[in-house]
Amino acid sequence: MKLLLILCLCTLCQSTFAPTGHIWGTRLGEFGPRYGWPVLPPAPPVQPPIRPYQPPAIPEWQLRIVDGQLYNIVHSVKWERLIPRVVFVRKILPDGVIFAVHEQSFHQVVSEGQSTTRWSPWQRTTEYNSSRISQTISLPAGSCFVRNFPDAQLLTEGERITPDLLVIRVLPFKFGEETLPAYDCGLDNTPENRLTLKPAPVKATNAVAIK
């Protein structure tokens, strides 16, 4: 009976030894050459899969098509806001609207810095802005042509409107004996309108090819 007990203890102790002669066990939750219950080595940390960066999709309202070219109206420097505050519908044409602009003068803020707050002895706050720059815009009376004006079918001639549009300057428009400055609001980026896209023009350069 004692012999059998000794053989069982030898078998148990043999499993705690590695082939190199070190003891793999733990006494206080550690892993190392100490005697104790046999434990497995800690598993390596699981690394999350690396996914390629995908930029956010561009909203459809930012993409407009003008003369067969696709523009991003937010990042393109060619697009600007239609300046007149009040215009009158002079003539509605199949491809755009002719607006009459009366003489106007208004102030427009160019840049505005941060407001500063200071405390008075009576615990009152005073806010002021010392870096606000504004300019006076004077528009003479005249007319202009806006192509692809949104909801042009809802307008009536002689109507007064206040447009707030981003437009791009295009070639002047010939109306009778008049030559009017022309702007374009662009077409929506739809599959039908994308069929009219043309390859981007190649800019001329004075560089000489190396042979």
pLDDT value at position 23?
46
Of residues 4 and 58, more confidence is placed in 58
Range of the domain at 86: 62-103+140-194
Domain assignment present for residue 118? The answer is yes
Token pair for 7: 């053989």
Residues 170 and 75 in one domain: yes
- Per cent of the chain over pLDDT 70 is 61
pTM, full prediction: 0.58
pLDDT value at position 121?
54
pLDDT value at position 21?
45
Residues 148 and 134 in one domain: no
pLDDT value at position 108?
67
Q: Are strands 133-139 and 142-147 parallel, antiparallel or unpaired?
A: unpaired
Residues 187 and 148 in one domain: yes
Residues 121 and 97 in one domain: no
pLDDT value at position 106?
66
Most confident of 6-20, 53-67, 101-115: 53-67
Residues 98 and 170 in one domain: yes
Instruction: Give the domain CATH number at 84.
Output: 2.40.50
pLDDT value at position 45?
84
Domain assignment present for residue 176? The answer is yes
pLDDT value at position 209?
44
pLDDT value at position 96?
93
Residues 144 and 177 in one domain: yes
Average pLDDT over residues 117-133: 56
